[in-house]
């Protein structure tokens, strides 16, 4: 029995996230499904949205939360690939399917994209309504806390597909947050010979050391460039800026004819570097944005158990503690916090 109301975390305006009772969403179109939210991860974007001033803009009076897994409880007449009871993960960036970029198979660049948990109601709630085309079935054997990683993992896979690291190659991952750690995990699983993981936050540095992904560099006390040159001689094959403001450092530590992937987003950051460096070193500088048709791959990785996802979960909390979870992440005292509404 689906109730008429539910608890939800609603973004009401700058710095204001309110827990309140709201109506349970109803199926309004034949292509929609209604999900009972089983687990939702707090993303760095959520932290930026509720910050003062905000570091990311969301629509006021929207339920936040976009990294989630749910169980199908109702579906529209046109949804044939899902059944009630199925566990699904969701691409929160609902694409139109008919614009120029969608027809180029670039749904992440859709001209009419609607972001759940940012522009439309998301999953910091008991129920969430989504378009059937962005819901992907995932095996019940995957714990819901791990399945909630599908969205960030799909974004990471979009980046790793661009650099296509080969077994034995070296990589520098600049930024040891949850996305940076996922990137390092995927690069290691791809056969990286040596990984350098750089950060300055004590909690994240310790988490990275426990994961054993490679050489952890505390950039508050060490020079990443010096460490990389000392241990590789020429620089890494692949450098990833997971922060959104470290492109000059990535260009410095990558070898000639190497690849740089720019993943992190910091709209306030402006990087200055000699453009000739890209020319002289014959570098490939690659941007990566959201998940570009990579959710099936993310589901397969999660179902395979290839990555130690549990090691990234700092704690699991009820919806009523979401403010504490956001504050803990804002202070850099957690890697990933899972909410179970």
- Which H or E element spans position 8? strand 5-13
Strands 313-318 and 236-241: unpaired
**Rounded Cα–Cα distance for residues 198 and 226 (Å):** 12
Residues 126-167 pLDDT 10s:
999 999 999 999 999 999 999 999 999 999 999 999 999 999
Q: Where are the domains of the chain?
A: 5-137+308-340, 154-287
**Rounded Cα–Cα distance for residues 142 and 317 (Å):** 19
Q: Give the rounded percent of residues in the chain with a pLDDT score beyond 90.
A: 96
- Which H or E element spans position 215? strand 215-218
**Rounded Cα–Cα distance for residues 170 and 233 (Å):** 12
5-137+308-340 CATH choice from 3.40.50.300, 3.30.420.40, 3.90.180.10, 3.30.530.20: 3.90.180.10
| Whether this model's pTM surpasses 0.75 | yes
**Rounded Cα–Cα distance for residues 232 and 26 (Å):** 57
Residue 284, burial from CB neighbour count under 10 angstroms (0-12, 13-18, 19+): middle
Per this entry, what is the length of the chain? 341
pLDDT of residue 26: 97
Q: Tell me the CATH number for domain 154-287.
A: 3.40.50.720
């Amino acid at each position: 029995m689906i109730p008429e109301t539910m608890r939800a975390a609603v973004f009401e305006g700058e710095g204001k996230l309110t827990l309140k009772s709201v109506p349970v969403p109803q199926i309004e179109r034949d292509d929609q499904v209604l999900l009972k939210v089983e687990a939702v991860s707090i993303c760095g974007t959520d932290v930026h949205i509720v910050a003062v001033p905000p570091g990311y803009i969301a629509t006021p009076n929207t339920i936040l939360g976009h990294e989630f897994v749910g169980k199908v409880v109702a579906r529209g007449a046109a949804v044939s690939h899902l059944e009630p009871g199925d566990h699904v993960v969701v691409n929160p960036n609902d694409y139109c399917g008919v614009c120029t970029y969608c027809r180029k198979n670039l749904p992440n660049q859709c001209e009419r994209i609607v972001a759940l948990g940012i522009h439309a109601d998301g999953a910091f709630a008991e129920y969430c309504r989504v378009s059937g085309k962005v819901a992907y079935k995932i095996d019940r054997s995957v714990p819901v806390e791990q399945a909630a990683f599908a969205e960030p993992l799909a974004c990471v896979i979009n980046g790793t597909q661009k650099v296509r690291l080969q077994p034995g190659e070296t990589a520098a991952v600049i930024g040891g947050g949850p996305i940076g750690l996922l990137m390092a995990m995927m690069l290691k699983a791809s056969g990286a010979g040596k990984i350098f993981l750089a950060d300055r936050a004590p909690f994240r540095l310790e988490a990275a050391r426990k994961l054993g992904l490679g050489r952890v560099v505390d950039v508050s006390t060490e020079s990443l460039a010096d460490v990389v040159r000392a241990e590789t001689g020429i620089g890494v094959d692949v450098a990833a800026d997971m922060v959104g403001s470290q492109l000059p450092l990535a260009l410095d530590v990558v070898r000639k004819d190497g690849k740089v992937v720019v993943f992190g987003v910091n709209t306030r950051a402006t990087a200055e570097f000699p453009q000739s460096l890209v020319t002289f070193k014959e570098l490939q500088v690659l941007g990566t944005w959201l998940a570009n048709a990579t959710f099936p791959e993310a589901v397969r990785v999660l179902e395979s158990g290839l990555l130690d996802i549990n090691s990234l979960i700092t704690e699991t909390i009820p919806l009523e503690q979401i403010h504490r979870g956001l504050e803990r992440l804002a202070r850099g005292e957690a890697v990933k916090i899972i909410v179970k509404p």
